[in-house]
Structure formats: C-alpha cells, structure tokens
Amino acid sequence: MARTFRMERWRRNILADRNTGVASVAWVIGVMVLGTVSCVASTQAHAELVFEPSSQELAFPGAALQALAAGDVDRDGKVDLVVADGDGDMVGVFFGNGDGTFLEPASSYELTDFAGLRALELADVNRDGNLDLVVVSEVSNVVLVMLNQGAGVFGRERDFPVGGGPVAVAVGDWNRDGALDLAVANDLDDNVTILLGDGTGNFNPTATPVPVGSGPVALTSADLDGDGILDLVATSATSGELSVGSLFLLRGLGTGQFAFARELQGEYIDTPVASLVADFDGDGDVDIAVVNQDLDDVAVLRNAGGFAFELVGNFPVASQLNGGVLGDFDRDGHADIACTGEFEDKVGIIRGQGDGSFGAPTLFDVGPAPAAIVAADFDRDGWLDIAATSQDAETISVLLNRTGGAPPPTPTPTPTPQVPSCSGDCNGDGSVTIDELVRMVNIALGLRPVTECLAGDENGDESITIDEIIKAVNRALGGCPNR
C-alpha cells in the first residue's frame, strides 16, 4: 500500500531537530522538485519477527546498568555500544566488529569524582564530526561532557552543574544557532535545566530551570506543534500507595527558553519510565508513546494539534517495563516499539500498524532484570538489531534481527575501478532516484539503518543530516559527476 504526502502538510512540519527536521525538510524538497512522493511497504510487512541472540554476552561491572547508547564512535562504519553504571562511576565502550559481535573487554573510563551515571547520549557537541559522550551524574548533580579525540577515545570529562538528582538528558538545538544544547531532568528539584552549547563542548545554563511534575524520570524532544521549533516532553512519576504519572509538554520558544504548554494525565499513564515520539498514524504530526512500568503497556497518544493529544489505546508489551526504543524492525514503513520487561527477563516488541495502533507483543529472552535498550544495525545486514542491559547479570544482551533471514556470507572483495562517489546514490548505479531519497529520509528518522545508504552518509558519522539530503536532491536533479 502506498501513502501519499502533500507538500503543504510537510511544509508546516519542518522540524528543527537532527532526525525529524531532516526528514521533513527532505519531504518538502522532494515534493516540490520531483512531484508526489510514494512510500511503498516492504514485502516483509507481515513476516513473523525473528531475533536470535548473538554469540556473546558483553560483560561490564556495574549493579545498575541503566544507561546505554549506540553509535559509531570510532568512525569505522560499524556500530559501537557505550554503557554506564547507574550506581558507580564507570563508562565502557564496546567497539563493534560489524558482524553482531563486539571487542572485549570494553574500553573503560573511571569518572572518579562522579557517581550514579543514570543516563547518557552520544552527540557531536563540538562539531568536529566525532560523536562525543554526554552523561549525567545523579549523585554529583552535574552533566558530564567527554569529547571524542578520534578513534573512539574520549578525553577528560568536563562537568556542568545542574539541579538536584539529574536522571535524564536530551540533546537538541534549542536556540537554533547551529550548536547542540542540553536539557537535563532533575528528579529531586522537579524541574528541567537548560544548558546552551557554544559549539566547542562548553555549556552555559539559562537563567531559570523549567518546573515539571514531581519526580521527572525521562526527557525527549520533538516539534509537537509543527512550528519548526523543538519542544520537550518531560515524563514525571510519583510513587507511593497510589503510583501515578504525567507528561509535561514544554513549548520551545526558539531562544533556548521553554514555556509550559500542557500537562497530560489520566488512567492510561501509570508509573511511566519513558516517552517515545514519532508519527505513528501517518498524518504528518508527531505523536507520543508512553512506556508504563506498572501497567505493562505502552499508551499511544495521537497529536490533535495545539499541544492536545488523544488516547489511541494502551497496548500490552511485557511485564514490569523498564525502557523502550523505536525502530522499524519488520521494515514495513511503520514505527515499532521494543521494551524491556524486568519480571520476565524479556524484550517485547509491538508492531506499528500505521494508524496509531499496535499489534500483539512478540517476546524474546535477554539477561535477567533488563533495563536500558537501544536499536541499531550491529551486523550491517540492513535490519535493525537490539541491545539491552541486564542489571542482575551485569551484561549486555544483543539480539540480531533475522526477520529477513540469515545474512549472506561476506563475499571476498575484488578490485573495481574507482568511481567518484555520488551523495545519495545508495545502489551505486550512477543516479539518485526518489526511492533513494525516501530511503535517506527513513534513515534520518531512525526507521532504517544507515547501512542501507552509505553513499548518503558522506562524513561517515552513522547518520543522515539535512545537508546530506539536500546534496542528494541536487544530485537527483543534476546527475552524478563523471558519469
């Protein structure tokens, strides 16, 4: 089934962050230049999800492995894993081999003066093309930035004070100056600290933290109202005899400041641990999925405009959810959701139907008490895989996606004539087609692995940027060089 997107819808949805912003701009350019864009579902749309465990479990000391990130930190074209100890002061980097396995032991960093490393992100905060490390210390009340010196080697940490008990961090360009900024959720102070980056790896806080509900536990960003400015979703939970939770929607003003827009609360939210944002119903607006720990489900909220959201439904996943991640695991063009279930030691995946609803869960075994979860193409076969931390075993479990069958053996390379690269020419046939532009858009959204179009990732940072999409559009119009 094909879906048609009109220019007007995507013009009003030009989002400002590095994922949805790239995609929306690309859709606008594509429709203006090339006419109607059609996104056709894969023939694998109804295939059974199949994941198999990797041949290794990655050991890392730490009783509370609650923070995990995936990215190509050494820029060798293979996805790496970075993990942090939520109780201790250790960060570890597992370098990927590109076949679903990783080098052991991890390259470790001891942050002697900082403990309680509860959340981390990978982002290029100093604009040198290398992914840097951003991690929060709940005990020391700081956010730490470790600049990538190249080859995945991180320099000494820089610490920036935030509020009491920081537990989550989001990265985005809040003031639209081209430099990445930070937002940190402070559990003890019930607020969010905004720090503005100068593009060199230094950050300065704005004057006043933004109040949110009691005990914020998660933070994510997206353009919720379609004005081209990033907004924030703060997920808050209160615990006691009656556990409840709520979402605080903060409107971005484009200056680095945020204003309260709306609080979402109801029986459909109970002890939330994460919020995920994507267009689940295909209408061009960003929707929200709330991962509910005690309800064992995900509540999906459809964007009704003006920061109003309507409940689509609560969709069961697994028992005692600890975290969640988005990804198109069956390659049908719809975002799916994978969550860790602590009580059953499972990862549960629910498949998006494209109308805002999700199917029944498929469960896969992982290590005991799984917590953090990420999705990336670890074996470079074009299918998104999963990694999840185990708090009890102090390990990371890797699940390799075999929905499309086992990957073919790697052929022996044969010398070929050197041909000038062409941005966006995913299959190397000397031209850039609309299908390849759509593929780049899906990669930018995180719905496809970057290995599906390495020619679109010109700087080798394992992502597709707006500049790279624009170059590809220009190649589609003017042709590839020297052909």
- At 427 the pLDDT is 74
Instruction: Indicate if the pLDDT at residue 430 is higher than 80.
Output: no
Q: What is the pLDDT of residues 37-50, one digit of tens each?
A: 333 344 444 689 99
**Which comes out higher in pLDDT, residue 229 or 409?**
229
Report pLDDT digits (tens) over 299-328: 999 999 999 999 999 999 999 999 999 999
Residue 408 has pLDDT above 80, yes or no: no
* Backbone phi, psi, residue 144, to 5°: -110, 140
- Choices 3.40.190.10, 3.40.30.10, 2.130.10.10, 3.40.50.300: CATH for 51-401: 2.130.10.10
Is residue 23 over pLDDT 50? no
**Alpha-carbon span 367 to 150, nearest angstrom:** 32
Residue range 372-388: mean pLDDT, rounded? 98
Look at 199-213, 358-372, 410-424 and tell me which has the smallest mean pLDDT. 410-424
Residue 132: pLDDT over 70:
yes
Residue 2 has pLDDT above 60, yes or no: no
> How confident is residue 459, by pLDDT bands cut at 50, 70 and 90?
confident
**Chain segment 433-445, per-residue pLDDT in tens:** 887 888 888 788 7
Region 100-128 average pLDDT: 96
Residue 480 has pLDDT above 60, yes or no: yes
Structure tokens at 268: 């459909």
Sign, CA dihedral 189-65-123-475, equals negative
In this predicted structure, the answer to whether residue 24 has a pLDDT above a threshold of 70 is: no
Given this model, what pLDDT does residue 328 score?
A: 98
Residue 410 — pLDDT band, cuts 50, 70, 90?
A: low
Residue 405 — very low, low, confident or very high, per pLDDT cuts 50/70/90? confident
pLDDT band, residue 415 (cuts 50/70/90):
very low
pLDDT value at residue 406: 75
Collapsed DSSP state (helix, strand, coil) of residue 284: coil
Res. 12: pLDDT tops 50: no
Instruction: Please report, for the chain, the start and end positions of each structural domain, with discontinuous segments joined by +.
Output: 2-40+426-478, 51-401
Residue 483 has pLDDT above 60, yes or no: no
pLDDT above 60 for 3? no
Q: What is the mean pLDDT of the chain?
A: 86
What b/e readout covers 10-49, taking b as 16+ CB neighbours within 10 angstroms? bbebbbbbbbbbbbbbbbbbbbeeeeebebebeeeeeeeb
With b meaning 16 or more CB within 10 Å and e meaning fewer, what string describes 140-159? bbbbbbbbbeeebebeebee
409 — pLDDT class (breaks 50, 70, 90): low
Q: Which residue has the higher pLDDT, 22 or 199?
A: 199
CA distance 55 to 137: 33
Q: What is the mean pLDDT of residues 128-150?
A: 97
Mean pLDDT of 223-239: 92
Summarised one tens digit per residue, pLDDT across range 205-223 is 997 999 998 999 999 999 9
User: How would you classify residue 151: left for phi > 0, otherwise alpha for psi between -120 and 50, otherwise beta?
Assistant: left
pLDDT value of position 44: 47
Torsions phi, psi for 429 (to 5 deg): -90, 5
pLDDT average, residue stretch 59-78:
93
Q: For position 248, what pLDDT does the model report? A: 97
- Tell whether the model's pLDDT for residue 5 goes beyond 60: no
Q: What is the mean pLDDT of residues 231-246?
A: 78
DSSP reduced 3-state for 126: coil
Confidence check: pLDDT of 30 > 80: no
